[in-house]
Every structure is written in structure tokens, then in C-alpha cells.
Amino acid sequence: MRSQIVFLFLLLSVYAFSQQETVEVPASIASDDPVTIGQASGAPVIDGTIDPAEWSAASVFETRYETYPGENSRPVLRTEVLLMSDETNLYAAFRCFDEAGKVRATVARRDDILSDDNVRIWLDTFDDRRRAYVFAFNPFGIQQDGIYTEGENLPDYSVDFVHESRGEIHEWGWSVEVRIPYKSLRYKAGDGALWGFNFVRNIKRLNSTFDAWMPQDRNRSGTLVQHGRITGFGAIRRERTLELVPSVTVRETERRVRNIPGPKGETGNGPTERFVNQPVEADLGLTLKYTITPNITLDAAINPDFAEIEADAPIVTANLRFPVFFTEKRPFFLEGAEIFTSPLDVFYSRSIIDPDAAAKLTGKVGRNSFGFLFAADGAPGKFEEEDLNDPSVRPRIDEFVGKKALFGVVRAKRDVGKDSSVGLFGTARSFPEQRNFLGGIDGRFRVDDSTVFTFQAVGTHSRRCFFEPAFDPVRDPAQAMRNSEICGGSTFNAYRTGNGIGYYARAQKDGKTHGWQAEFIGRSRFYRADAGFTERSDLNDLFLYNRVNKNPEPDAALVSLRSFQFWSAQYDFRGRFQNMFTGANVSFGFQNSTSLFVETAFRAQKIYEDEFGISRNPGRDGAFFGAPDRLTRQSRTFAIFSSAPVKQFSVRIRAQYNYNAFDFDFGAGRYPRVSPAAISGDPRLDPGGGRELSLQASAEYRPIEPFRISVSYNRTSLKRFDTGLAAFVSDITSVRSTYQFTRFMYARIRLDYNSLRRNASGQALFGWSPNPGTAFYAGYTDDFNYNGFSPVTRLYEPGFARNSRTFFIRASYLFRKTF
């Protein structure tokens, strides 16, 4: 009770702070009058040192406003940007004045500079206030680039564009020079063409201050709608550009495989597994990009996938019911990805696992944006050699061996008004015995300066295997046999037609000291988006939140204070209760980039046996031991502390306690099931409540400019109330270290350890990448257990045992021809 009173006091304090007098933005600084940029008489040398003679034709812009933490106040430090254009390039130069020795800068990898001081250019090249290129640079001129889509919180920095930049640190501060080829962009040009434009400077040591050319009205939602405009693009030469990136990957892999049974199922007198040194593989790939017009691009690829360079971060998989979303890393799918995004994630490029070939056409004509994508994925038809040669397995997979899953995606959007749009989406995936089609509409409408409404509605049609928990093989043995033949041996997966719907609606209002959001999302039981990502179907979810905060104060000990209050209710499409939770949080921002976040929430969660397996009837047991449904009332509290007090060091700590969290009784790695049913020898699931504790800590240290090392630790445990036994204890430790020899050349070592499987994996990598498309990598990966469990037999193995290891070399080169 005492903690709840304290938390209520904090919320009331936030509300009181939020009532302070606001600062109005003068109308004069919100002018939309475009600025004509200068025309270069000659190309400047991009070396980081700004030569006044070379930049004499440039238009000069200054940061006039500190937009965070201050509210359009006068910047503490002066920043200038010089901008000019010629027939083929846009040139920018930054002068960032600062005190000697206080600049935060490291020799970092590309796309890893935002912990340094940096400057950023925003280019809305169609002036539609919906999408913009973002180019960021640290004081050494190292790049981070991406795409910002209006309505999103942050830019997508996963995509890379070819451009040139250099930076220098001086006694008076630092400078950066930039050349952005127009052929790296999609844009509109010609006399009178306007581009949305803004530039910002981010100063880390000053509470991550943002200074900008244009002001930001905190009572107005949106980012691009508050940017200025530039013009002067009438002299751009109209060109077509062809890019070819051939690649070769050579790898040698050793791994453990199971022995193939003999005619009667025996493996002989030998072991049930063996370590195989596979033949050296050489994969050739080719990626093509053809700029048909400045605003329409054709991309094509043959064998573009290569996953060894960037591995997904390890996650806790224990007690996990639903799939996890992983971000895309493959360049072919990153280019133009923003056109294929939607609230329901109806297209998820990682559903295309190993494409043999793919093609994509994207562009914008007038107010219409479009995207078409086709891919042939060979992964579903690939099987391990031991399965192909196993007479007990081969009959079940014969129909699929060597087959490809075919994907098709169609996307169209039309701009409506100043900041609204409507669109159509269609996807298809086809594989033997699996067909899925999806179609729908979506839109985003600005109601007023601070309110936006977003929606999506889709329908799906599938011919595939669906799990039928009520099906009884005894009553329909013929259908049971058909199910088993088509659906991989499972009699409860019925091969049938299924139609579904999905919907999304969100209203959001943003203000300086107050905001709210109402979101309603649902997917029916037979909703399937095989080309997309679906965490869960058969669920309706209503989510509401309210936000209050005080205006940030840059010079105060407490820089910012914000609170969210939230409530959610979930029901399935049969009207059964699933979840309800409510809670509140408070976020404190202090000096030296230090913050504290505290949240408490209460939840009621109900689960049903037909969500986990077969349902019971008078002639058989169901999936659950005991009652067919379970309900827990949970309370959760967690806190996050983060700080970057000096440029060499940053730290983040997250701690969480969840009272009466469900153990779904799956077992986890080396931890067997510990429910009463499991202890009594009953194979049925017996979910129950327990105490869940979680601690995550990470730190990064940069003792010298080229070197950085980061360590993260994640411990999660769950102990049941009814048996007093641990359902699992998971420890995941990760170490990353990188030495950047130059801007383009680096060496990296990665090591991950997972205690559930007592498994470790590591990678040593050397990389050189002077620009997107041209690269050389050489690496070694290793995966092994210590006192762990065999990935083949699942049996305990004392001591050290290697699972696999791979040595690989990859090289690619960008050929670029303009005509």
C-alpha cells in the first residue's frame, strides 16, 4: 500500500509540473518560404576542411533553435551548414563550434555513430511530408544514413546509400564535408521543385541537446510537417543509373549430424551421431539496381542472402508462446522497405528465408507511391542430407524436396491532402499444399495539427493445414489419415480452406504536456499472413494510454519528467476473456544523459487448453492436466536505469519482478517440467503461477577512439508456487569488441553464452567496406557446449563438445554506370 501511495504522489507531481506556463512559437519562425540553394561553379574537395573559395557559392544556414531539452530557445553552441548543388551532386558542409577537448567522437563503424556528437540532414525529396532521407555524420565524417517515415518514432537506419564524407576536429570545434550523388536518391527535380529540409546538431555532453534550423512546436504532432523547404534543383542532369554488385561467398562447415538408420532402423555399433566436414561451398550472387527515372527504381537479385555477417541478438526463449520479430539485415530487402510497411505487418521480408531470385519495382509518380515484389524462396524445399537418405523420413518430405515457395507483394499508396494517405496491399505465398492470399486497405489521416488517425483492414484466404483442437480421429479415421499424410504426420492438423480478417485502428493526439492514444487491433482465428509476421491470431486487443509531462528544463537537475497511464483488454473472437492489464510509469531525465524509468502494472490472464493442444471430450483427455482453463492475477514492477556520464562509458540496467506469472509447463533446455502433473508422470501440460525475476545489464567502454567493448548479461528465472521448484533459470551473457583500424576496416569478436543449453557461440570477423556494395569479409564462427546437451540426441554430454564451426570469405564489388 505504501508503494502505491508513493507512486500516486509521483503521478500527481507530474500532473502539477505539466500545468506550468507554455512557450508559444512565434508565427514568423514557422514560415514555409523556400530557400534557394547556391549553384556550385566547381566540385569542392571532400576532405573535411572547409575551403572558403570552394564554398563561396553555397547558401548558409544556422541552427536557430534548441528543440530539446529547450523549447525553441537560443542554442548554446553555434552551428552552420553550407549547402549547394550542381548537375549531379548535393554538397553540404558543417561548421560545429565547440570548446577544445570536449568533442565526443570515435572512429566507429558505419551506422554506429549516434553515441558521438553528430549532425544530421533531413531531405524530403518529394516534398510530400511523408518520407525523408536522413544523413548523419560524426566529427570524423563517419556516416549513418536511413529513411524516416512520418508517424514513426525513429528513422530506419538499416538501409545504406552511396555518398562521400570527411570530418576534422579543430581547436574551435569540428567540421564535416559531404557529397551526396543525386543518383543515390529518389526525387523530383526541375524548375520550381521543392524539397523538405532540416538539419540538426546533436551534442551529447549537453544532455544530448538537439539544435535545429527549424523550430519544433510540441503541440503539433509530426516531424516532417514542421520542416522548412529548399529549392534550386532545376539544373539537375536527368540520368539513368545501373548498379551491379556481384558477390562470391566461400565457406567450409563442419557440424554434427545424426547417423542414418539402416534398413531396420539400426545405426550399427557406432554412435547415433557423427561430426561431418562438409565440402567447400562457393556461392555466387548478383544484385542489380536500375534507376529507370529519378523516382522509379528496379531492383533484382540472384542468391542475395548471406547471414553470417550480422547475427541476431540472443533472446530468452524459455516459456515463450509466440514468435519473435527480428529486424531485416539483407540489403536487397532494405532498399525501399518503407513502402511495404503497414500496421499489421502483412509483409515481413524475413519470411523469405533463402531467396534464389527476387525482383522489386518501387517508385512514386505524382501523388502515387507503389511497390511490386516477387521472390522464389528455396529454403522450404531444402532438407538435410541425413533426412533425404533416411527411409523413415523421406516419404514424408518427397513432395517438397527441391520445391520453392513463391512470394508476390503488391503495394500502392496515394497522398491525400497535406499529410494524409490511403493505400492498398496484396500478398501471396504458394508452396505445395500451402497457398495464402491477403488483400486489404489502409490509411493515415491528419485530423488537426496534433491528432492523427491510422487504420488497416485486410482479409485472408488460405488452403493449408490448420490445427483443429476438437478433431477426433476415432470418429473420422479417413480424415485423420489424410491429415497425417499432408500435414507432416499430425492427425490434428486439418488440411482445409480458412478465411480470416485482420484490422487495426489508432487515434493519437500529441501535445506539449499531454497526449493520449486509443488503439484497437485484431486478427481472427483463421487469419494467416504467410508473407507477413503474426505474433498471435484469434485475438481482439484494445489499448489506451494517457501521457502527462512537464516541459524539459535544460539547466535543472531534473531535466525532464514524464508519466504514462495505460489500460488494455483482450478477448478472442469467441468472446472469451484473455488478458486485462492496467498500470502507470514515470520517467525521470537527469543531467549527464542519465535517466530512470519505473513502472508498475496489474494483470489478469486466462489461458485455455485448446490454445495449447487438443480439447477434451467424453472419450479422451485434453491438453491440460486438471481444469481446462487457468486464471492468474499478476502484479509486475520494473525499473530501467541508464547513463552515459562520460564519452568513454555508458551503462543500462533493467530489473523486473512479476508476481504470479504463468509457467506454461513447456520445460526449458536442461530444465525439465516441474508441474504437479510432470512430477506425477502425466505428460499433459499443467500451467501454474510463480515468481518471475529478471535482471538485464549492459555496458560499453571505449578506452581509446578506435576500440570499444560491450558486455551484456540477462538473467531470468521462474519458480512455481505449487511445487516450489524452478521452472527455469536462464543466463545469457554476450561480449562484443570491435577495433576500427580505419573508417572502413575493422576487426570484431563476438561471444554468446546461454546457460539453458550450456551452449556458447562465437565469431571472429575481419571486415572492409569502403561503400555500400563494395566489401570484403573473412570470418570464423564456432558453436559448442560444455556439460551441455547434444543438438542431435538431446542427451547430456559431459565436458566440451563442438556442434559446428564455419570459416567463410565473402567479397562483393559495386559497379556503377550512369548514362
Confidence of residue 386 (pLDDT cuts 50, 70, 90): confident
Q: What is the pLDDT of residue 261?
A: 57
Q: Work out the percent of the chain whose per-residue pLDDT is above 90.
A: 75
CATH number for position 180 = 2.60.40.1190
**How many Å apart are CA 654 and CA 598, to the nearest integer?**
10
Q: What is the pLDDT of residue 116?
A: 94
Please count the residues of the chain.
819
| 476 domain residue, yes or no | yes
The whole-angstrom distance between residue 735's C-alpha and the CA centroid of its chain comes to 21
What are 586's three cell numbers?
514515470
- The answer on 225 and 328 residing in a single domain is no
Structural domain ending residue among the three candidates 512, 535, 558: 535
Q: Which residues are bridge partners to 60 per DSSP? A: 82
Question: Does residue 57 surpass a pLDDT of 50?
Answer: yes
What DSSP string runs through 356-413?
Answer: EEEEEEEEEETTEEEEEEEEEE-GGG---HHHHT-TTTHHHHTTTTT--EEEEEEEEE
Between 1 and 735, the higher pLDDT residue: 735
Q: What is the pLDDT of residue 391?
A: 81
Its domain, for residue 158, covers 32-231
Q: What is the pLDDT of residue 330?
A: 87
Q: Which residues are bridge partners to 464 per DSSP? A: 496
Q: Work out the percent of the chain whose per-residue pLDDT is above 70.
A: 94
CB-based contact 713:698 (threshold 8 Å): yes
Confidence of residue 699 (pLDDT cuts 50, 70, 90): very high
Q: Which residue has the cell 487504420?
A: 455
**Integer CA distances (angstroms), 256 to 382, 750, 782, 783, in order:** 18, 22, 12, 11
| 680 domain residue, yes or no | no
- What 8-state DSSP symbol labels residue 28? G
Best CA proximity match to 260, nearest among 246, 274, 248: 274
Q: What is the pLDDT of residue 382?
A: 87
Q: Characterize the bridge pairing of strands 228-231 and 35-36.
A: parallel
Confidence of residue 645 (pLDDT cuts 50, 70, 90): confident
| 426 domain residue, yes or no | yes
Lowest mean pLDDT among 91-105, 488-502, 559-573, 724-738: 488-502
Question: Does residue 14 surpass a pLDDT of 50?
Answer: no
Q: What is the pLDDT of residue 569?
A: 98
- The answer on 359 and 217 residing in a single domain is no
Question: Does residue 640 surpass a pLDDT of 80?
Answer: yes
- The answer on 327 and 217 residing in a single domain is no
CB-based contact 181:88 (threshold 8 Å): yes
Between 8 and 387, the higher pLDDT residue: 387
Full-prediction pTM beyond 0.85?
Answer: yes
Q: Which helix or strand (DSSP H or E) is residue 94 part of?
A: strand 89-97
Best CA proximity match to 686, nearest among 696, 672, 675, 695: 675
What are 15's three cell numbers?
500532473
**Integer CA distances (angstroms), 701 to 115, 254, 590, 651, 698, in order:** 12, 35, 21, 9, 10
What are 720-753's pLDDT values in tens digits? 999 999 999 999 999 999 999 999 999 999 999 9
| The dihedral sign for the CA sequence 462, 467, 472, 476 | positive
Question: Does residue 242 surpass a pLDDT of 80?
Answer: yes
| 115 domain residue, yes or no | yes
Q: Which residue has the cell 515457395?
A: 405
| 546 domain residue, yes or no | no
CB-based contact 106:144 (threshold 8 Å): no
| 712 domain residue, yes or no | no
The backbone torsions φ and ψ at residue 183, rounded to the nearest 5 degrees and listed phi first, read: -70, -10
Question: Does residue 268 surpass a pLDDT of 70?
Answer: no
| 580 domain residue, yes or no | no
Question: Does residue 415 surpass a pLDDT of 90?
Answer: yes
Q: What is the pLDDT of residue 265?
A: 43
Q: What is the pLDDT of residue 307?
A: 54
- The answer on 328 and 193 residing in a single domain is no
Structural domain ending residue among the three candidates 470, 501, 535: 535
What are 266's three cell numbers?
539400426
Question: Does residue 20 surpass a pLDDT of 70?
Answer: no
Q: What is the pLDDT of residue 66?
A: 96
Question: Does residue 293 surpass a pLDDT of 50?
Answer: yes
**How many Å apart are CA 782 and CA 804, to the nearest integer?**
6
Question: Does residue 565 surpass a pLDDT of 90?
Answer: yes
**How many Å apart are CA 139 and CA 205, to the nearest integer?**
14
Q: What is the pLDDT of residue 72?
A: 94
Q: What is the pLDDT of residue 393?
A: 79
Question: Does residue 202 surpass a pLDDT of 60?
Answer: yes
Q: What is the pLDDT of residue 819?
A: 87
Q: What is the pLDDT of residue 308?
A: 57
| 225 domain residue, yes or no | yes
Confidence of residue 32 (pLDDT cuts 50, 70, 90): low
Structural domain ending residue among the three candidates 485, 512, 535: 535
Q: What is the pLDDT of residue 306?
A: 60
Question: How many domains are there within the chain?
Answer: 2
Average of per-residue pLDDT across 445-463: 96
Question: Does residue 199 surpass a pLDDT of 50?
Answer: yes
User: Three-state DSSP class for 610?
Assistant: helix
Q: What is the pLDDT of residue 483?
A: 77
Between 284 and 261, the higher pLDDT residue: 284
Q: Which residue has the cell 557440424?
A: 255
